[in-house]
Amino acid sequence: MKSQFAKAGIILLLSLSLKAQKTTSPAEQSMQKQGLQEVTERVPGVLVELKYATTDNFMKKNVYGCLTRAYLQKETIVKLKKAQENLEKAHPGYHLLIYDAARPLSKQWELWNTLTEYPPEKRRTYVADPKEHSIHNYGSAIDLTVADEKGKPLEMGTTYDFFGEMAYPNQEAKLLKAGKLSQKAIDNRLILRKAMTQAGFTAIEYEWWHFNAFSRKTAKQMFKVIP
C-alpha cells in the first residue's frame, strides 16, 4: 500500500516537473537546427528580457510571440561569456542584460514596416533594411545593457530603442557639454562598452546598446540568415 502511494507521488512529481519545463517554440526549434544556441544555459550571470517579446518596445506590441529566449551563434556566445567575465571582474555582482539577440528575418520586416513615419534613408539609422539584412538576422549582434546586483538596469541616459542623438555614442561629449547627458550615464555606458569591446565586440555610432560580434560581410560568409 505504502509503495503504491510512493509510486503515485513520484508520477505526480514527474508530470508536474514536465509541465514546468518550457516548451520550445517553432522559431527556437528552427534556430536550434541552424546551430544557434540558447544563451543563459551557456553564459552564467547573463540576464535576458527580450523587449520585442513584450509590449515595452517602440511598437508597443509583442512581435516575438513565443520567442522569449535569447539565441546566438556559438562563436558569439564565446565572446559574450568573456564579456560577462570582464564585467564581473571590474564590477562584482553586475550582469549583462540582453534586450535582443538572434532576430528572424520575418521579424526584421515587422520592425521595418512599423517605422513608416521615417523615409527609408532615415529609417536605416534605426532599423537595418530587411533587404540588406541585419547582423541580428545572423545571430551575431546583441542589444544589451548592464544591470546591478539586484538586476536593475543602470542609468544609460535613454531607454532602449530611443530614436535620436541622445542614444548616439558619437555625440556623448557634445551632449555632456550641453548638459543633456549626465556624466553618470556616460560612465555606465563605458562600463558596458569596455566589457564588450575587450571581449571582441564592436560598438556602433547610433545605439549605445548594440554590439556586433562580426561585421555584416563576415556574418554573411560564416552563417545562414535566420528565416
Using CB under 5 A, list all residues that contact Zn ion.
143, 210
Minimal distance in Å, beta carbon 5 to Zn ion? 54
Minimal distance in Å, beta carbon 125 to Zn ion? 12
Please tell me the distance from the alpha carbon of residue 146 to that of residue 208, in angstroms, as a whole number.
11
Residue (7 or 122) nearer to Zn ion, CB: 122
What the block records as the C-alpha cell of 176 is: 555632456
Residue (29 or 225) nearer to Zn ion, CB: 225
Minimal distance in Å, beta carbon 127 to Zn ion? 9
Residue (88 or 197) nearer to Zn ion, CB: 197
**Which amino acid is it at 107?**
K
Minimal distance in Å, beta carbon 46 to Zn ion? 16
Minimal distance in Å, beta carbon 136 to Zn ion? 6
Please tell me the distance from the alpha carbon of residue 192 to that of residue 209, in angstroms, as a whole number.
8
DSSP-assigned letter for residue 167: G
Please tell me the distance from the alpha carbon of residue 4 to that of residue 95, in angstroms, as a whole number.
47
Minimal distance in Å, beta carbon 134 to Zn ion? 7
Contacts of 222 (CB under 8 A, 6+ apart): 73, 75, 138, 140, 214
Nearest to 42 by CA among 20, 14, 67, 75: 75
Beta strands in 58-135, from DSSP E residues, in sequence order: 71-72, 95-100
Residue (12 or 103) nearer to Zn ion, CB: 103
Q: Which residue number places its CB atom closest to Zn ion? A: 210
Nearest to 157 by CA among 179, 190, 182, 192: 182
Residue (23 or 164) nearer to Zn ion, CB: 164
Residue (61 or 184) nearer to Zn ion, CB: 61
Please tell me the distance from the alpha carbon of residue 106 to that of residue 137, in angstroms, as a whole number.
9
Quickly count: other Cβ atoms within 10 Å of residue 153's Cβ.
Answer: 18
